[in-house]
Structure 1
């Protein structure tokens, strides 16, 4: 079967539109339509249903795409690198929260770097990341906010658990998790708080989820990222709310203590966000799929 037909099929499936697929492939829309019709004739069944705003895959189209896409990507990568005299090196422009990117995402992508992928990482707030994606400055972003509209598409990546932590001396002063559980938020009101922003985003989320109220005190120490929050909490500057992946080692060694163990811990979801249709690029699709597989163990 013609590799060009398979590439067009995978691109249309990812783009959700003949028009967007044509732009990604550098073809005219009639050429894309003709290739899909040729493939449908060869298979004897329709692969897409035409709709007002694009196309929707049939059950056969979905099944074929999920089975076929990784193999088509691999063949295209081999073909393209073989035709490039310099041994084409693709660059992934990635953006996301600095801590999660450094501790989770970049280590997970290291095997792809060893296979020729170059990575450029940036960070910023969700609105900045969405703007960068839309403008083409980023290829893939990790955010804790799902974008609106049809230009960007988001796939849930993983959930992170938030933990209320403090140095052992603060835990001793409070009397332990049982006291905090019995007295509730009143037991914490007099303690200094370490956060990443004056608005106390993590503490406010935790207080709302666990205590059904907002924190009354302002941040005592405000630092630029969550790794600095952990350092300050370990040093005894105050209590803080941190994702478990970030403070897990410090909890295991006793440098910090979990001040409360709520029945339902607060969670935050991370999303992989891309521009619609860009997963037609094999190196981007491969990184996207690689991160989804890695996140299963996060």
Structure 2
């Protein structure tokens, strides 16, 4: 499977029309059609639904499109990092969740933009599960996770600070007038909970028993959408503090008692060489952590 053919395929997927894709690629429509047919023949599965006016993907086509985007992103990042000048330049891609501990990362990026203006640090907001999956495939250089990775495949660097767990509630809720929320109260309300691995274990340790008593109505991977559900009256979001600014929102954050805190770590794969740009970022981050 050639990268050129994958590029043809993704261009057609994005354009939703072979003729339009051919114009973007500056090739003839028959050329694109032949390449797509050859790709289907090579894979042995249909990638497109035939007969519709706009391009529609089969389930195999959807899977290939997702994988192809990751492959092309990895290729682009690799080429950028190799084709650099004598000064350190290139891109660093970090998969990260929502956390106030990102402050140290922000300070690092601010320093790098002055010392190594050729380095661009790109953040991809996602949950910890997706971040580590894409770290393993090489799409991300680093991932920032909220729960410790008890995995020998990774190096990790603990970031300064901690965030406290609590509930994001509508102001109309009686619980919003409390200073804390107990474990017993937590089991009596509809909850919107995080999706990432390790959350159940975290709260089972806090409760001293399983989370089977939790009444989970919905789950989320990023808190902003969960806050909209809270506003809509779906339930209360179990989350970390200082992620959603509740000022003038009709929402209130109330911490749990006894307190339960989480820390964040930057992780990267052992045995995989880092680009010079990624090494420069990591070294500067280590300095900022040590100075904190």
TM-score, L = length of structure 2: 0.53
Provide closer, same or farther for how the CA distance between residues 202 and 257 of structure 1 changes in structure 2, counting only shifts above 3 A.
farther
Specify the alignment match of 1:155 in structure 2: 157
Decide which of 203, 223, 237 is 2:234's aligned counterpart.
237
Q: CA RMSD, aligned part only?
A: 4.1
Q: Which residue of 1 aligns with 2:94?
A: 94
User: How far does residue 224 in structure 1 lie from its aligned partner after superposition?
Assistant: 4.3
The equivalent of 1:118 in structure 2 is 120
Deviations 1:253-283 (A, max 9, x none): 68433445524x2122322112336687543
- Which secondary structure state, in structure 2, belongs to the residue aligned with residue 246 of structure 1? coil
Separation of aligned partners in 1, 2:198 and 2:220: 13
Q: Does 1:262 pair with 2:257?
A: yes
What are the residue-to-residue correspondences of 1:200-211 with 2, within 5 Å? 202=199, 205-206=202-203, 208-210=205-207
Rate the CA distance shift 1:124–1:232 in 2: closer, same or farther, 3 A.
closer
Deviation of 1:200 after TM superposition, in Å, equals 9.7
Q: Deviations over 1:171-212 (max 9, x none)?
A: 35x87347x54xx51x34442212244x99757744641575
Moved more, 100-109 or 134-143: 100-109
Report the number of matched residues: 204
Q: Is the 8 A contact 1:126 1:145 kept in 2?
A: no
* Kept in 1: contact 2:89–2:276 (CA 8 A): no
Mark the runs of 5 or more structure 1 residues left unpaired by the alignment.
1-79
User: Which is strand-richer, 1 or 2?
Assistant: 2
Do the aligned residues in 1 keep the contact of 2:99 with 2:163 (CA within 8 Å)? no
Q: Distance in 2 between matches of 1:136 and 1:90?
A: 15
Structure 1 residue matching 2:242: 3-state secondary structure: helix
CA deviation after TM superposition for structure 1 residue 106, in Å? 6.6
In structure 2, stretches of 5+ residues that fail to align are 1-83
Distance 1:274 1:266 in 2: 26
2:141 matched residue in structure 1? 139
Distance in 2, matches of 1:210 and 1:295, equals 32
State the shift of 1:103 in Å.
6.3
Per-residue CA distance 1:87-109 (angstroms, 9 max, x = gap): 66311122232x34996577445
Q: Aligned-pair distance for 1:246?
A: 0.6
Structure 2 Cα separation of the partners of residues 237 and 276 of structure 1: 42
SS in 2 for 1:220: strand
More helix by share: 1
1:161–1:267 Cα contact (<8 Å) kept = yes
3-state SS of paired residue (1:228)? helix
Report the equivalent of 2:280: 286
Which sits farther off after the overlay, 271-280 or 226-235?
A: 271-280
Report the 3-state secondary structure (helix = DSSP H, G, I; strand = E; otherwise coil) of the residue aligned with 1:193: strand
Aligned to 2:266: 272
Alpha-carbon separation, structure 2, partners of 1:166 and 1:93? 34
| Aligned partners of 1:94 and 1:121 also within 8 Å | yes
